[in-house]
Amino acid sequence: MSAVDMRFLQSRRKFLSRSVAGLTVVGMGLLSARSLLADPTQIAARIEETPTEHVLTPALKAASASLKAMDDVKDYSATFHKKEFVGRKLIATSMSLKLRESPFSVYLKFIDPHGGREVIFIEGKNENNLLVHDTGFASLAGTLSLDPKGSYAMDENRYPVTNIGLRHLVTKVIETWLGDVKEEGITVQQHDGVALDGLTCKTYEVVHRKQHAQSKYQLSRLYVDEATGYPVRVQAYAFSAKREPMGSTGTLVEDYYYSKMVTNIGLTDADFDVKNPKYDF
């Protein structure tokens, strides 16, 4: 390859690294960094400190039980659907997911948009970067190594890939609701027998009748699969900037949903390896 060709390829790689921005749309908006994931024992203790008569206590205990149900889950596959309000638009994405809890490892293959794009992340490996292979013209860049919290990866996204997973999903819902315990004007509703793509779920819905300084969401909703106890979906609605009639749920800003989930399937290092012959890296 000539020096001119090499410079051209390098310039293409820089350009294409920008073109794959938006690939880490896989968090839960209530989540902080993975390293801040709370100890389940601490969560249980904090819930026990909540007065029995508090309106949030039943929802907190249900969410805590859902987190506990994940203790025996070592890995899983699922179709991950998410909607996030970024800037001035709601962005919808779906992808196939493989996740292993230890070491925390993620494989993603995008379904829509960017169909065929693949992403691998392994905690403690590859300098804690994402390994990304795109499709079409962008595939000419080969496999890219991107900082999951860098500007390219975070463009058009709210949270990085390090926040993905059911444990994170329910943990941060609990933390959010624990933060709401001191607030007034909260209502909580439980709905049983909610149908969701073949599942039957219980939903727990927390609504703020008025906005407080610490209130991030007007409504947050957790879906728990009645058969397994797993947390499968969370939705969050922000307070609207406009005055809305009583009973309004606000504006949907985050919706994270795991469908077709299969647990403890024995994922190995090969499932998170760019050399896997089933992948297109």
35-80 pLDDT, tens digit per residue, is 335 566 777 788 888 888 899 999 999 999 999 999 999 999 999 9
According to the model, what pLDDT value does residue 5 have? Answer: 39
Top mean-pLDDT range of 12-26, 98-112, 159-173:
98-112
pLDDT of residue 16: 46
What residue ranges do the domains of the chain occupy?
Answer: 3-272
Structure tokens at 147: 């900082």
pLDDT band at 207 (very low <50, low <70, confident <90, very high): very high
Whether the per-residue pLDDT at 156 is higher than 60: the answer is yes
- On the question of pLDDT at 125 being above 60, the answer is yes
Say which CATH superfamily domain 3-272 falls into.
Answer: Lipoprotein localisation LolA/LolB/LppX (2.50.20.10)
Mean pLDDT, residues 20-36: 42
Task: Report the pLDDT averaged over residues 252-273.
Answer: 97
Residues β-bridged to residue 191? 203
- Average pLDDT estimate for 220-233: 97
Strands (DSSP E) contained in the chain are 75-86, 89-100, 105-112, 118-122, 130-133, 144-146, 186-196, 199-208, 219-225, 231-238, 251-263
The amino acid at 97? L
Counting residues of the chain whose pLDDT is more than 90, the rounded percentage is: 57
pLDDT at 136: 83
**Range 172-175, long-range pairs (CB < 8 A, 24+ positions):** 172/28, 172/30, 172/31, 172/32, 173/28, 173/30, 173/63, 173/220, 173/222, 173/231, 173/234, 174/38, 174/43, 174/47, 174/60, 174/63, 174/64, 174/67, 175/30, 175/38, 175/43
Mean pLDDT along residues 206-227: 89
176-205 pLDDT, tens per residue?
899 888 888 899 999 999 999 999 999 999
